[in-house]
Amino acid sequence: MATPELPNAVIADALEELGDLYELDGAIVHRVVAYRSAAKRVREASVSVAALARAGRATELPGIGATLQEKIVTLLDAGTIPAAERLRAKFPPGLIAITRIPGLGPKRARLLQLELGIDSPESLREAALAQRLRGVRGLGPKFEANVLAALQAGAAERAAPRILLPKAIAVGAALIAGLSERARPGTRIELAGSVRRQADSVKDLDLIATTSRPAALAGTLAGLDEIESVSAAGGAGARGRTHAGMTVDLRIAKPSQHGNLLQHFTGSARHNAALREASVRGGLHVSEYGLLEDASGRTRTCATEAELYELLGLAYIEPELREDRGELQAARLDGGAGLPALVRLEDIRGDLHCHTIASDGHNSIEEMAAAARERGYEYLAFTDHSASHGFGNDVSPDQLRRQIELVHRENARIDGIELLAGSEVNILPDGGLDYEDELLAELDWVIASMHTAFAMSEQKMTERMIAAIEHPLVRAIGHPTGRLIARRAPYAIDLDAVFAAAARTGTMLEINGNPDRRDLSDVQARAAARAGATIVIDSDAHRVLTLENMRWGVASARRGWLTAADVANSRSLAQLRELGKQPRK
């Protein structure tokens, strides 16, 4: 038998390391980025990249050319890539690890090596704890604190790599399709776990199934294209790993236990613990198998989750709320009166943040408008980037005037949807905006966002944001914390002060639906709404396809307990206009 090929994760790590090495070596950005994006493609591929490369077909993956395919085959044959070996010899291995710490990068890593002899995360940590980093020119106590926080966060991340929700759903759907093809009629398979709770990211996939032939179903998991290996399979289920390194747990029960199984494996662990604790007082023991009654010694099984919650004296709790954030108390009130009627995707009547080819989008005004109308929207705001966005996507004041004309012209032409001429205006470091007020006043909709200068102090950042919130022409703040899920922490900002300012001025705060962002987060959106701020959910689409990202924003809103009334764009355009802004104090 042949030796097993390298898993995708190992190949991806090797390509990523090569990218880092090139960067440390001062290679052109283009080359570094090429390796990083190739690594990402490999990591996310749903089939074995080793097998593809052997067959000469790895070039079918986007971003992988003949040279990269060759390097992958060399890696498979020799266990290493010669270019990486050569560069690795030039730098201490710990230094490469340091370049990957958020806020550092190759430039600072080399500075620290030069000035303090730091060449590993361990020596970096020691130096930060001993407050020696602040002695280096250009670095300060704040940098030291950031380094320590990043090291800690990095350790947590390595313990459990996380996958963004859309990718997890796609893999889950492929697995369900594969299993269903091989299953007996009447078999029911669905996604549970954090995917069903619509979490930002997940670390493993929970599938539950009810079937009359459990062992046979469990046996088919190993045969799926997406599965790299299976470590256990039996009558109760199977556990495997995908080529992307995700653990898959398949649990199987009888149809009469479907409710128990689904509830248990939807979690969260904290919700279930709270549920168990509350139930024990009533003489009931909740488990994945059923509900054991102390009084009768009987185990009751539930075909649906609603039945299960009812037996526990609770109203049905939506999966997105099952985080032990007060949902049990709310569900205990008469008939679940304390639970919110969560906003649904169907409640959304328009999208107020998208891009076109005028900045860094990929579709025209006409194409975006038609697609939005297709989705049933009543309105769409075009918010291309502003005058100082950089990356070659600036929209000069003259170009914006032209864009306003084009949007209004298309609006006059198209039926069934109202088009708003807007802009996603940069909030400058001093809190100002990068168009004159006179020009901003010509727009139908202004959303203001921060895209640069994130490294300011919390106080400065908060003042900067509040200045934008208080600007009389700014209707909403885009992606208010700047986080990128599992990649970049939010900038330092006092959100309570931001929420209060938004509530006071009537400036809306966005839940950005880009699955990398989901910003505000669920918890933050809930706090903002409680503080009296109005939330707007946007796709931030850069092409027709990603108008779909609205759904991830709605998912965060649901996890944040929001109702349609909390969300500005669940209103008609006329009602939205009535949500006018309060004049500056």
Give the binding site for Zn ion (CB under 5 A).
424, 449, 540
Q: Give exposure, 502-527, as e/b (b: 16+ Cβ within 10 Å).
A: bbbbbbbbbbbbbbbbbbbbbebbbb
Shortest distance (Å) from residue 359 CB to Zn ion: 8
Shortest distance (Å) from residue 493 CB to Zn ion: 16
How do 418-426 and 445-449 pair as beta strands? parallel
Query: Which residue type is seen at 520?
Result: L
Which residue lies nearer to Zn ion by CB, 69 or 449?
Answer: 449
Shortest distance (Å) from residue 348 CB to Zn ion: 17
Widest distance between CA atoms in the chain: 79
- Burial environment of residue 562 by CB neighbours within 10 A (0 to 12, 13 to 18, 19 or more): buried
Which residue lies nearer to Zn ion by CB, 516 or 540?
Answer: 540
Q: What is the DSSP letter of 580?
A: P
Shortest distance (Å) from residue 353 CB to Zn ion: 6
Strands (E), 171-236: 188-191, 201-202, 204-210, 227-234
Q: Which residues pair with 202 in a beta bridge?
A: 163
Closest CA to 244 of 36, 54, 48: 48
Which residue lies nearer to Zn ion by CB, 245 or 432?
Answer: 432
Which residue lies nearer to Zn ion by CB, 449 or 556?
Answer: 449
Which residue lies nearer to Zn ion by CB, 220 or 383?
Answer: 383
How do 379-385 and 237-242 pair as beta strands? unpaired
Strands (E), 397-520: 418-426, 445-449, 476-477, 508-512
Which residue lies nearer to Zn ion by CB, 340 or 482?
Answer: 482
Shortest distance (Å) from residue 96 CB to Zn ion: 31
CB 498 within 8 A of CB 469: yes
Please state, in angstroms and rounded to a whole number, the distance separating the CA atoms of residues 155 and 439.
Answer: 48
Which residue lies nearer to Zn ion by CB, 272 or 449?
Answer: 449
Shortest distance (Å) from residue 49 CB to Zn ion: 32
Which residue lies nearer to Zn ion by CB, 323 or 424?
Answer: 424
Shortest distance (Å) from residue 347 CB to Zn ion: 22
Which residue lies nearer to Zn ion by CB, 175 or 354?
Answer: 354
Q: Following DSSP, what letter does each residue of 389-422 receive, concatenated?
A: --TT----HHHHHHHHHHHHHHHHH-SS-EEEEE
Shortest distance (Å) from residue 259 CB to Zn ion: 42
Which residue lies nearer to Zn ion by CB, 12 or 450?
Answer: 450
Q: In what order do the strands lie in the sheet with 188-191?
A: 188-191, 204-210, 247-253, 237-242, 227-234
CB 417 within 8 A of CB 480: no
Shortest distance (Å) from residue 500 CB to Zn ion: 23
Structure tokens at 563: 């109702």
Which residue lies nearer to Zn ion by CB, 450 or 525?
Answer: 450
For residue 324, the SS3 value is: coil
- Burial environment of residue 543 by CB neighbours within 10 A (0 to 12, 13 to 18, 19 or more): middle
Which residue lies nearer to Zn ion by CB, 320 or 540?
Answer: 540
Please state, in angstroms and rounded to a whole number, the distance separating the CA atoms of residues 22 and 402.
Answer: 42
Which residue lies nearer to Zn ion by CB, 226 or 424?
Answer: 424
Shortest distance (Å) from residue 449 CB to Zn ion: 4
Query: Which residue type is seen at 384?
Result: D
CB 46 within 8 A of CB 226: yes
Shortest distance (Å) from residue 110 CB to Zn ion: 31
Which residue lies nearer to Zn ion by CB, 393 or 572?
Answer: 393
How many other CB atoms are there within 10 angstroms of residue 220's CB atom? 18
Shortest distance (Å) from residue 534 CB to Zn ion: 19
For residue 263, the SS3 value is: helix
Shortest distance (Å) from residue 456 CB to Zn ion: 18
Closest CA to 554 of 25, 259, 165: 165
Q: Following DSSP, what letter does each residue of 63-84 receive, concatenated?
A: T--HHHHHHHHHHHHHSS-HHH
Please state, in angstroms and rounded to a whole number, the distance separating the CA atoms of residues 40 and 400.
Answer: 35
Q: Which residues pair with 518 in a beta bridge?
A: none
Shortest distance (Å) from residue 356 CB to Zn ion: 11
